[in-house]
Amino acid sequence: TGDSIKTRLICFSDDMDGMRKVPSNVPNQDLLHAHLGKPLTDVPDPFGTHEGFAQHNNARLRAFLDSFGFEYEFLSATEQYRSGAFDEV
């Protein structure tokens, strides 16, 4: 679009989605099985590097996007809901 139309790229993480199954490529499988059905934001990080599994995945996603060097806005469903961004006006 050149400079004629302002644009922005938004990456939205639906980290409140429920954990439907335990990925086969992560550690601490038993820990995750105990949290099936819970929002990803409420599931412990099986790698032990972040507050929770959603935060771990969001950090990996941001690192991946950062490797391309373009600008983007990152939004987390958890943060948006908790901030009231989706409340009726």
Closest by CA to 77, choosing from 9, 13, 11, is 13
Quick one: pLDDT at residue 66?
98
Q: Inform me whether the pLDDT recorded for 89 exceeds 90.
A: no
Of 3-12, 29-38, 53-62, give the lowest mean pLDDT range.
Answer: 3-12
Identify the band that residue 74 occupies on the pLDDT scale cut at 50, 70 and 90.
Answer: very high
Distance, CA of 51 to CA of 68 (rounded, Å) = 26
HSE at residue 59, side-chain half, CA atoms within 13 A, is 11
Quick one: pLDDT at residue 2?
66
Mean pLDDT over 42-68 rounds to 97
pTM, two decimal places: 0.85
